[in-house]
Amino acid sequence: MLRLELRPEPSRLMMFASPMLAALAMLLTGSILFSFLGQDPLQGFYVYFIKPATTLYGIGELLLKATPLTLCGVGLALGFRANVWNIGADGQLTMGAIAGGCVALYFQDVDSAWILPLMILAGALGGMAWAAIPALLRTRFNTSEILVSLMLVYVAYLYLSYLVHGPLRDPDGFNFPQSKMFADAALLPILVEGLRTNAAFLVALLLTVGAWFFSTRTFAGYRMQVSGMAPAAAVYAGFSEQRNVWLAFMISGAMAGMAGVGEVAGPIGQLQPSVSPGYGFAAIIVAYVGRLHPVGVLLAALLMSLLYIGGESAQMEMQLPSAITGLFQGMLLFYLLAADLFIHYRFKPAHSSATRATPVSRGEIAS
């Protein structure tokens, strides 16, 4: 019999190596999977992980898809570090898209340079307003922010659906549920001619740097880190838990909201019944694979984006089922969690231990 025992000191090196290990294990299992599906593993590997990035357009698409993942992921990571669990980024993204979209549709006939900044601001506020609900309930009534933020995702979806079926429906659109296409002034500028990557990517980069600065160079960021790593010490130091909850939700809400604007004012160009294929949820994986560090999150978002796009090319060229994308994403998180478990715990033969091993009951999985 083997038991798990808490390590006295988790290895810092391994903490940063574990995403690499997880990715490696995912690739290994993936190639076994490819051979079971009757494909040459090397060819599968090439089509899945290399080919999408071999053209300029492909790279543009990777960056485009990584943008909302980065925005949501960086915001979530700040909160997760402080043990504040915002699971509802997809809802905040949707509300941001609605707020930004309303601005675009209201100023349909205005051709002015301030429309886009106004849309981004509206999007951030929309996301924050939606994030304020779980923050308020948590700080006032100690309600679980995990449940509240998650449930509100579906409310946001339904609200968007109501709007495009009703008040915001395109009057010339044969009663199909979609808004008018946004005017050119309400579309984010494209960075490179011929690609779809737009200015939202630059915003994401800027905010990633900003988030790094916030968490390592400001006192508010420091307070949040301490609260996450040592809650008792934080209380002793007089750091307010409520302030952390609010900060975490406001930052992640604003960033998710901006991600929503990036989608509707970017590749979509209108409001439609669904604006996100679950970026807010995928961002949770992204945040953890990125070790809750802004730069790590950016890299993880690129990897995640590659997993999505690689799945498409695997379908096209090797006729593999679409479920393979979900499989790869799931494997990545699974191996990461497994690796993290062994960073914090180690096996110990049960009979030789004088003190009983600590059961796995710690809430947090990563640092």
Whose Cβ is closer to another protein: residue 165's or residue 346's? Answer: 165
Measured CA to CA, the distance from residue 270 to residue 186 in angstroms comes to 10
Query: In sequence order, what are the residues at sequence separation of 6 or more whose Cβ sits closer than 8 angstroms to the Cβ of residue 284?
Result: 76, 87, 89
Beta strands in the chain (DSSP E): 2-6, 345-349
Q: Which two tokens stand for residue 40?
A: 């040459």
Whose Cβ is closer to another protein: residue 79's or residue 123's? Answer: 123
CB of 72 to another protein, least distance (A): 15
CB of 350 to another protein, least distance (A): 42
CB of 165 to another protein, least distance (A): 6
Whose Cβ is closer to another protein: residue 275's or residue 366's? Answer: 275
Query: Position of tokens 């009979």?
Result: 351
CB of 326 to another protein, least distance (A): 9
Whose Cβ is closer to another protein: residue 150's or residue 309's? Answer: 309
Whose Cβ is closer to another protein: residue 188's or residue 366's? Answer: 188
Measured CA to CA, the distance from residue 70 to residue 365 in angstroms comes to 21
Whose Cβ is closer to another protein: residue 228's or residue 260's? Answer: 260
What is the b/e burial string over 231-251, where b = at least 16 CB atoms within 10 angstroms of the residue's CB? Answer: eeebeeeebebeebbbbbbbb
CB of 274 to another protein, least distance (A): 6
Query: Position of tokens 């051709």?
Result: 111
CB of 267 to another protein, least distance (A): 4
Measured CA to CA, the distance from residue 316 to residue 111 in angstroms comes to 41
Q: Which two tokens stand for residue 313?
A: 């090319």
Whose Cβ is closer to another protein: residue 77's or residue 268's? Answer: 268
Query: In sequence order, what are the residues at sequence separation of 6 or more whose Cβ sits closer than 8 angstroms to the Cβ of residue 29?
Result: 331
CB of 317 to another protein, least distance (A): 8
Q: Which residues are at the interface with another protein (CB under 8 A)?
A: 46, 54, 57, 61, 64-65, 158, 161-162, 165-167, 174-177, 181, 196, 263, 266-270, 272-277, 308-309, 312-313, 315-317, 319, 321-323
Query: In sequence order, what are the residues at sequence separation of 6 or more whose Cβ sits closer than 8 angstroms to the Cβ of residue 216?
Result: none
Measured CA angle at 128 (ends 238, 73), to 5 deg: 85
